[in-house]
Amino acid sequence: MDIRPIRTEADYEAVLEEIALLMRDDPMLGTPEGDRLDVLTTLVQAYEAQHYPVLPPDPIEAIKFRMEQGGLTVADMKPYIGPPHRVYEVLSRKRALSLAMIRRLHTGLGIPAESLIGP
């Protein structure tokens, strides 16, 4: 099994092409082809984590997304943020999220704390 580290974008593209070919054949785990696919995907994951990190979303965008996803209105946000005027202030970025709001949004709506803390 001739496998090398992915060091350049060209290496990355070549490995992606090879993965696509292997996946088309759908090799069984434990076979040489299946093991090769497993190792190559692990290398790609490591390369992507280093070169294309996925940053957490902006805290306000995370809240808006969760509201849209759950069909929630400003009134529905009262238990998490407070009265409607405060919800509007937060959503328009005129008021920062407090630690208590972050905790309630995380616990009540399942928004990851990392997303609510933001940069």
53-76, pLDDT tens digit by residue? 888 789 999 999 999 999 999 999
- The 3-state secondary structure of the chain reads CCCCCCCCHHHHHHHHHHHHHHHHHCCCCCCHHHHHHHHHHHHHHHHHHHHCCCCCCCHHHHHHHHHHHHCCCCHHHHHHHCCHHHHHHHHCCCCCCCHHHHHHHHHHHCCCHHHHHCC
pLDDT of residue 61: 94
| CATH architecture of structural domain 59-117 | Orthogonal Bundle (1.10)
Phi, then psi, of 46 in degrees rounded to 5: -65, -45
pLDDT of residue 74: 96
The ranges of the chain with pLDDT < 50 are none
